[in-house]
Amino acid sequence: MSDATSLKRKAAEAAFAELEEGMNIGIGTGSTAEAFVRVLSEHVAAGFAITGVATSERTEALCRELGVSTKTLDELPILDVTVDGADEVDHDLRLIKGGGGALLREKIVAFSSARMIVIADSSKKVQTLGAFPLPIEVNGFGLTSTFMAIRRLTETLGLEGEIVLRKSGDKPFITDGGHLILDASFGRIPDPEALSAALATIPGIVEHGLFLNLASMAILAGPDGIEMLN
């Protein structure tokens, strides 16, 4: 197992320790969330009862393959906890998510959960969000207009940098919801709340990858052990 894979597994095991039998849980997307599904499946195989709501088609397929039982969010609209990865986490548990393109369902599921536990390797901890390009999920209708509105509004906040349409091969990347993603490389986002409020005013934006006031704990696995932020 590579160092990175073993750190993700350690974070996933620590998150499993936060669960109780019979819980209804949100299950995130990405390689760290996948490590969590693998840990979970081993306990399920040993008789641990839990039901998950997957945040993507990809996670749903993995749960099915590994025998973790899932329901839809409409069947289980209130969840005890969501366990998910992140692209960046700061000291106030503010996150950038969406590197795997699942930010909309991830945010809906996290919002429906009493708690959100973030699992990551320690490289994801940052002083200031923004080195990782911010994913912004947009409707395909009026893409150019939405793009220009994002550029205009973010410039008024002093944020500059490349904004690119995410591709999958030579085609636009399409989310599970049928939308597009713009990745905005601002470098630093000193005021995530102001940016989040500004983006919420643009109708073509479906959702963005700033997760504010959603995470209640971050479990960060590093070479020297686990760090918990809460």
Q: Which residues bind ligand 5RP (CB under 6 A)?
A: 28-33, 84-87, 97-103, 106
C-alpha to C-alpha distance for 47 and 67, rounded to whole angstroms: 11
Q: How far is the CB of 122 from ligand 5RP (least distance, A)?
A: 12
Token pair, residue 40, equals 């979970």
| Helices 57-66 and 31-45, axial angle in degrees (round to 10) | 30
Is 86 annotated as belonging to a binding site? yes
Q: How far is the CB of 16 from ligand 5RP (least distance, A)?
A: 16
Q: How far is the CB of 130 from ligand 5RP (least distance, A)?
A: 15
Residues 6+ apart with CB under 8 A from 222: 7, 121, 122
Q: How far is the CB of 196 from ligand 5RP (least distance, A)?
A: 16
C-alpha to C-alpha distance for 30 and 102, rounded to whole angstroms: 9
User: Which candidate in 13, 106, 137, 207 is catalytic?
Assistant: 106
**Catalytic residue status for 106:** yes
C-alpha to C-alpha distance for 117 and 110, rounded to whole angstroms: 9
Secondary structure of 31-100 as H, E, C letters = HHHHHHHHHHHHHHHCCCCCEEEECCHHHHHHHHHHCCCECCCCCCCCEEEEEECCCEECCCCCEECCCC
Between CA 123 and CA 178, with CA 54 as vertex, the angle to 5 degrees is 95
C-alpha to C-alpha distance for 46 and 42, rounded to whole angstroms: 6
Which residues are identified as catalytic?
Answer: 106
Q: Which residues belong to the annotated binding site for substrate?
A: 29-32, 84-87, 97-100, 124
Q: Which residues belong to the annotated binding site?
A: 29-32, 84-87, 97-100, 124
